[in-house]
Amino acid sequence: MSDRYAVIGNPIAHSKSPEIHAAFARQTGQDMSYERILGPLDGFAATVDAFRAGGGRGMNVTLPFKLQAFAYSPRRTPRAEAAGAVNTLRFDDGSILGDNTDGAGLANDLTRNLGVHLAGARILLLGAGGAAQGVILPLLEHKPACVVVANRTPEKAVSIASMFRNCGPVSACGLADLRGQRYDVVVNATSAAIGGAAPDLCPDVFADGAFAYEMMYGKGETAFLSLARDAGAGGWADGLGMLVEQAAESFLLWRGVRPDTGPVLAMLRGA
Ligand code: ATR
């Protein structure tokens, strides 16, 4: 029987993960299946227990269960600890490992697919929720000049930046404090795009040729990306590449093989 994997979330029907992992499995010749599981809002742990009992080898975890997956994991990778959330579970011989591949997915998309240099860059990270927290450590690992976390509610930015003060040059401020500051890479980790809005941002934050990254995907040119383009950004992307790259990191953790993400990303962009 093929090794079983799944993604669990609520809602889950929209998830592209089965398509992505099926493509990775074909490409690398791995004998595995990957399904969608709609997790009951009050039944995450029981649903994962049942999947494990049925021989499941690993799961991706999406909203709203990433914190519950963190609590579910008796063993966690350092990057899951730093993110405070788990998006990947691996089950072997009765043990459970929790990992978080979201931040590596962002960093890999920026550096490998989009040709953005993070080393020495001034990085502005907008937002201070789970999405922002999950990417700070992987960004710092690329040795940027600084990572500035800016949030509509400044106290939340201060709070998450302080968790990483021993990991590199990270600081925090409110959106209004950005006036006069310029950045090479601006990452939107807010959920503003859900409501069709952009963070209230002074266009001057984009340095000449800056790269703008919208972590959400499937929303076309968001208000944030339009703002970046009008402000003279040199390049921009949405989070579809991050989705494929975080999947590749999960696949590597499960199967020990790194798939080639290029053709899979091209397939999704084509669709
Ligand atoms: P997630 O886990 O996806 O990061 P979250 O924890 O709800 O979601 O965090 C959402 C983030 O988007 C927050 O930083 C929020 O700012 P506040 O902390 O001030 O609420 C930010 N956000 C949402 N809508 C926004 C908007 N229209 N403009 C600016 N920031 C916004």
pLDDT tens, position by position, 35-58: 999 999 999 999 999 999 999 999
Average confidence (pLDDT) over 149-175: 97
Q: Quick check: 238 pLDDT over 80?
A: yes
Q: Active-site positions?
A: 66
The rounded percent of the chain whose pLDDT value lies above 90 is 98
Ligand 1 atom closest to 153 (CA)? 19
pLDDT score of 139: 97
pLDDT score of 69: 98
> How many Å apart are CA 37 and CA 23, to the nearest integer?
19
Question: Which residue owns the Cα nearest ligand 1 atom 26?
Answer: 192
The rounded percent of the chain whose pLDDT value lies above 70 is 100
Ligand 1 proximity of 133 Cβ (cutoff 6 Å): no
pLDDT score of 93: 86
User: The whole model's pTM is what?
Assistant: 0.96
Confidence of residue 135 (pLDDT cuts 50, 70, 90): very high
Average confidence (pLDDT) over 193-197: 94
Ligand 1 atom closest to 194 (CA)? 24
| Span from the CA of 153 to the centroid of ligand 1 (angstroms) | 9
Ligand 1 proximity of 151 Cβ (cutoff 6 Å): yes
Confidence of residue 94 (pLDDT cuts 50, 70, 90): confident
Ligand 1 proximity of 199 Cβ (cutoff 6 Å): yes
Ligand 1 proximity of 153 Cβ (cutoff 6 Å): yes
Confidence of residue 1 (pLDDT cuts 50, 70, 90): confident
pLDDT score of 207: 97
| Span from the CA of 193 to the centroid of ligand 1 (angstroms) | 10
Ligand 1 proximity of 131 Cβ (cutoff 6 Å): yes
